[in-house]
Amino acid sequence: MNESPVILRFAKSYLVDGTVPAEQYSIVEKESLEKVGAIRFRLSNKDDILLYAGHIGYNVDQAHRGKRYAAHACLALKAIALQNGFIELIITCDPDNWPSRRTCEYIGAELIDIIDLPPDNDMYRDGERRKCRYQWRIG
């Protein structure tokens, strides 16, 4: 893979649902230093969070999509995950989100299953019904 076109800038630490520590980074285009998106890293292996949300969540601003910024941000985040003792990560996405699925495949994550969301899940209440679960072995 070519040199990454992005750098990560730490944005904040917070707790997911008041229980799982997470960090958020801005995805910044290396040449222009323009913010193009964000990536979140949940520093936990709590099954109830990871089953549906995964360790990593990312978004790229509409104007910057199609340039593999999410994939390069994941690859940049790999070093942070390894420093925190992780050897594998879960990434989830909607089954019809083909750009995100291609991102997972590009970085070498493997689809492990597609699961139904339970009705009491926040994502279900937001209209989502299923999640693809990818496992990314990094260590």
Residues 104 and 58: their CA atoms lie apart, in Å, by 11
pLDDT-derived band at 7, boundaries 50, 70, 90? very high
CATH of the domain at 82: 3.40.630.30
State which residues form the domain around 59: 6-137
Give domain status of residue 13, yes or no. Answer: yes
Residue 1 lies in a domain: no
Q: How many domains does the chain have?
A: 1
For 79-126, how does the pLDDT look when each residue is reduced to its tens digit (9 = 90+)? 999 999 999 999 999 999 999 999 999 999 999 999 999 999 989 999
138 in Cβ contact with 87 (< 8 Å): yes
Which pTM does this prediction carry? Answer: 0.93
Residue bearing tokens 């193009």 = 36
CA angle (74 as vertex; 73, 80 as ends), nearest 5: 100
* Within a domain: 50: yes
